[in-house]
Amino acid sequence: MSLSPVQTRTLRWPLWLVLALPGAWLLWQAGQPAADLDELANVSGQLAGVLLVLAIGLTGVARLHPALAQLVHLRRAFGLAAFGTSVVHLLLYLLAMGALEPVLAELDVPGIWTGWAALLLLVPLALTSTDAAMRRLGRGWKRLQRLAWPAVALALAHTYIVHDGQTLAMALAAVLILLQITRFNRGRTVS
């Protein structure tokens, strides 16, 4: 059973709310007296990576079975959630560092600049995620959306290098590769 366009649109707002809750909870936790800001930054970064891979991988998931085709319409929500959670991750990282000087001192560290670069690539994607921006940019919008690929590669490199998330980074990369294989193999049949 597939969802009608009306049902898909109706699901968007509750989905956006559900996707925003973890970031809001992490920020609330950061305000608690005994908050472990390093751990909260780590969790938020891992969550942002998962959301980014989901956003980019939904096309592959949608091609696994016709009943999943409507999932493609949820990519924007997952992409914006990935961006929002990445911003939460940045805020928690800045709070954990405590001052600007140590942040600037780490900018040349590969695990750090890959995270900054990934976030910078996500900014234009988030800013142009409206229907109006899609109409205004026309074909350029689709080209701009291709920045998601280097962004996810940089985010996975960041996770692998910095956050002791080698297993997570490799698992997310494997899932993304498998989903892309399904994406590019559509229309081919196994004999």
Q: Where residue 125 falls among pLDDT bands split at 50, 70, 90?
A: very high
Q: Are 60 and 178 in contact (CB under 8 A)?
A: yes
Look over the chain and give the mean of its residue pLDDT values, rounded to a whole number: 87
Q: Where residue 157 falls among pLDDT bands split at 50, 70, 90?
A: very high
Question: What does the DSSP 8-state code read for residue 68?
Answer: G
Q: Which helix (H) or strand (E) holds 179?
A: helix 166-184
Q: How many helices (H) and strands (E) does the chain have?
A: 9, 0
Other C-beta atoms closer than 10 Å to the C-beta of 89 total 27
Report the predicted TM-score, pTM, of the whole model to 2 decimal places: 0.86
Q: Where residue 191 falls among pLDDT bands split at 50, 70, 90?
A: very low
Quick one: CA dihedral 137, 60, 120, 14, positive or negative? positive
